[in-house]
Amino acid sequence: IILYHYKNTFSFEIKDGWVATPSIAGAQTLFRTILSRESNKYGVVSESALTKFTSTNVRSVSLEILKEWLQYSGAAFYKEHIILKPSKNAMILAVLSIEQRPMSVEEIAVAIQTDANIASLSNVLSSNPETVRLNKDDWGLREWGKKPYVSIRQLIYDKIQSNGGAMDKRRLIDELVDEYSLNIKTVHHYCNMPLFRTVKGVISITDGVTDPLLHLLDEKRLEYLDLRDRGGSLWVIGGSELGDVMNELRTKGFVFRYRAEGGRATKGRAAWWWKPQPYL
């Protein structure tokens, strides 16, 4: 629609109850461009940035109308913040950057209002290079610089090494339970593995490596579930990003197979599995 106003020609578009110049798409692009200048790397802007639009030379614009306009333009809102590009991946990163604290998969699912199941969302988090698992249940942003969660066996090993090769077993268990939200009985179980020994309440690392495969996985700081002692498989948690690692293990005789949907042991998380073949 072309109108004449004070001898100047300008255009505007009317659509879905909105009127914008020069067009709906043009106005949406302009808003995103202006707001993106104040956003963080995850496309998050404080709602306070909208105050610059609430008063113009022509007329006042209410904050409510601006928020409706942004929602119409595809933006999302979360705890007094605007998320400019709310795709699933972008929403996860944006919410974590707003919360600035570790969050469980369930919490993230509620925050981003997704209909994806927990297993699917876990796979998204695992494959995203910007996110890192921080403990048994919680995820965070890699930029926070927090130490990633690894296998419990590796956590015990690292804790002992950082204490000079030996430490009080009770203190080790208490610290790991507190730092990583682990089950105390589970930590006790791993402390009794052949890799470790306890003498008079002091735990240390046994000389030699009892399982070369687990040693390789621990060296690469991978999360795994070893169910071989129950007749099951050894599962390494992760997606296609572990392809190079699995090719390396294949050359050492460990042929892992990938399952995007994981298994009951992994609670639906993507994983690679290997089961030793019996001798005939």
Q: Of the residues 83, 98, 113, which one is the last residue of a structural domain?
A: 83
Among candidate residues 126, 109, 93, 87, the one with its CA nearest the CA of residue 268: 126
CATH number reported for the structural domain that contains residue 108 in this entry:
1.10.10.10
For 32, the enclosing helix (H) or strand (E) is helix 24-36
pLDDT of residue 182: 85
Residue 179 identity (one-letter amino acid): E
- Are residues 30 and 68 located together in one domain of the fold? yes
Residue 154 identity (one-letter amino acid): Q
Rg (CA), the chain: 26
User: Dihedral sign, CA of 270, 274, 275, 280?
Assistant: positive
For 78, the enclosing helix (H) or strand (E) is strand 76-78
Q: Which residues have CB under 8 Å from 202's CB, separation 6+?
A: 166, 167, 168, 169
Q: How far apart are CA 130 and CA 93, in angstroms?
A: 8
- Are residues 246 and 259 located together in one domain of the fold? yes
As given in the structure block, the two tokens for residue 89 are 């991946």
- Are residues 56 and 95 located together in one domain of the fold? no
**In-domain check, residue 279:** no
**In-domain check, residue 243:** yes
**In-domain check, residue 93:** yes
Among candidate residues 252, 256, 250, 261, the one with its CA nearest the CA of residue 272: 256
- Are residues 22 and 44 located together in one domain of the fold? yes
- Concatenating the DSSP letter of every residue in 211-270 gives -HHHHHHHHTT--EEE-GGGT--EEEE--GGGHHHHHHHHHTT---EEETT--TTTTT--
pLDDT of residue 114: 79
Burial label for 176, CB within 10 Å (0-12, 13-18, 19+), is buried
- Are residues 59 and 109 located together in one domain of the fold? no
Phi, psi for 258 (deg, rounded to 5): -95, 140
pLDDT of residue 27: 85
**In-domain check, residue 177:** yes
Q: Of the residues 55, 83, 111, which one is the last residue of a structural domain?
A: 83
- Are residues 6 and 69 located together in one domain of the fold? yes
- Are residues 128 and 96 located together in one domain of the fold? yes
pLDDT of residue 136: 75
**In-domain check, residue 166:** yes
Q: What is the pLDDT along the chain (280 residues), one digit of tens a residue?
A: 334 444 556 678 888 888 888 888 888 888 888 888 889 999 999 988 887 776 554 455 678 888 888 888 888 999 999 998 888 889 999 999 999 999 999 999 999 887 777 877 887 887 788 998 888 788 999 999 887 877 788 889 889 988 888 899 999 999 999 988 888 998 998 898 878 889 889 999 877 555 778 878 887 888 888 887 777 889 999 888 898 889 888 887 788 999 988 888 888 888 999 887 543 3
Phi-psi region of 62 (alpha: psi -120 to 50; beta: other; left: phi over 0): beta
**In-domain check, residue 163:** yes
Among candidate residues 251, 255, 211, 253, the one with its CA nearest the CA of residue 236: 255
pLDDT of residue 60: 55
Q: Which residues have CB under 8 Å from 10's CB, separation 6+?
A: 2, 3, 21, 22
Give me the residues paired with residue 45 across strands.
Answer: 82
Percent of the chain past pLDDT 70, that is, above it, reads 90
**In-domain check, residue 256:** yes
pLDDT of residue 3: 41
- Are residues 45 and 70 located together in one domain of the fold? yes
Residue 237 CB neighbour total at 10 angstroms: 21
- pTM tops 0.85, yes or no: no
pLDDT of residue 38: 87
- Are residues 166 and 114 located together in one domain of the fold? no
**In-domain check, residue 211:** no
- Where in the sequence is the domain holding 243, given as residue range(s)? 218-274
- Are residues 128 and 113 located together in one domain of the fold? yes
Number of domains into which the chain is organized: 4
SS3 232: coil
- Are residues 51 and 105 located together in one domain of the fold? no
As given in the structure block, the two tokens for residue 23 are 């067009």
- Are residues 117 and 79 located together in one domain of the fold? no
CA dihedral angle for residue 100, residue 106, residue 108, residue 112, rounded to 10 degrees: -150
